[in-house]
Amino acid sequence: MSKHSENTEFSIPEPTLKRLPVYLNYLQHAKESGLLTISAPVIGKALGYDHTQVVKDIAYTGAKGRPRIGYNIYEVVQHIENFLGFNLKNEAFLIGAGNLGTALMAYPNLKDFGIQLIAAFDSDPDKTGKTKSGINILHTDKFKDLREKLDVRIAVLTTPAEVAQQVTDFIIECGIEAIWNLSPVHLQVSANVIVQNTSMYSNVAVLLKKWQHSKKTQHNK
């Protein structure tokens, strides 16, 4: 695959992209507790990041801080939301209304964190026709028509592993452009489709390895 074709806009570091929602979540709680301003060192200490990291990440969003005072919380929240496109109504379809799908339909504030689920689809007639957390579960038959009618471009995939790839091929053919993949399968798609694979297993691996390592080094001490 070619390197990035010349970008007028420089691209944002992916680690920054992943930290920004963490800041956002933290800042929204801070805001609720009545604070008006907050400094990068405070955020850093709370979330375990170096304070310069926080300053640089926030700078990406365009928010400006004031020496000795820090940032206006409301302003930073606005800038992060703007920057990430969270204030746009990014409407998405959920594919697969199993346990994980149900969990996402009920996931708190998902629509404030970028994605608004407006319908769910499943091929199992036992699941379709119902409503969960206010979201209708429809039969996959209706996917193509509804996608066009509502002009939805984003899908969240929570099907069983066995059908994940074939369902992916189908929804891309129907016009889906971006997929958040929560199935435990690494999807293969053509270059014009964006996939974000979220492997639960990866996190388990990191946790276990850190834990095993900490146990080893503890009785070496």
Partner DNA sequence: CAGTGTGAAGTTGTTCACAGCA
Partner DNA sequence: TGCTGTGAACAACTTCACACTG
Contact status: 204 vs a second copy (CB under 8 A): yes
d(CA 171, CA 109): 25
E-assigned strand segments in 22-73: 37-38, 71-72
118 binds, among a second copy, DNA, none (CB under 5 to 8 A by kind): none
**CB neighbours of residue 145 within 10 Å:** 10
Per-residue binder mask for a second copy (CB under 8 A), 139-178, x = binder: --------------xx-----xx---------------xx
Residue of 2, 3, 11, 219 that binds a second copy (CB under 8 A): 11
d(CA 154, CA 143): 12
Contact status: 131 vs a second copy (CB under 8 A): no
* Residue keyed to tokens 């959920």: 94
Contact by Cβ (8 Å): 77, 113: no
Contact status: 12 vs a second copy (CB under 8 A): yes
- Measured from the CB atom, the residue of 69 and 204 that comes closer to a second copy is 204
SS3 184: coil
Q: Which residues bind DNA (CB under 7 A)?
A: 3, 13-16, 39-42, 49-53, 55-56, 58-59, 64-71
